[in-house]
Structure 1
């Protein structure tokens, strides 16, 4: 019975996490006067330090295909605008 409920539990957990993030962002920006750009920088740094160990632990070795340099340049330019 629990197997059928796993997707619903996962969606509820994600929604609750996002609601907590939004509340935290509102509190940090409105009460303490933190600039939104500083909050985004802290959030990105926290995400990096949280997810980086998993990337190193579950790394399966070097990629079998690498992108050419112009593809890296295009990704950099597009992500700079985003």
Structure 2
């Protein structure tokens, strides 16, 4: 579970198997300014349901861990 979703200043983690679905839901929320329900994990690994309001959120970052970071060597 290395994939991460940051909503404003809250950090959540995504199960590898849910990454594509979560990406689609986040895109839908932001594009259509609607609320979506996301099944995520907190920093302690507990399953949580997060409601993302695409009309109210100020920042969203989705880290799908697709390769080394700029400061990392591959």
Which structure would you say has the larger Rg? 1
Give the structure-1-normalised TM-score: 0.27
Greater helix percent: which structure?
A: 1
Higher strand proportion (structure 1 or 2): 2
**Structure 2 length as normaliser, TM-score?**
0.29
* Structure with more relative contact order (C-alpha pairs < 8 Å, separation 6 or more): 2
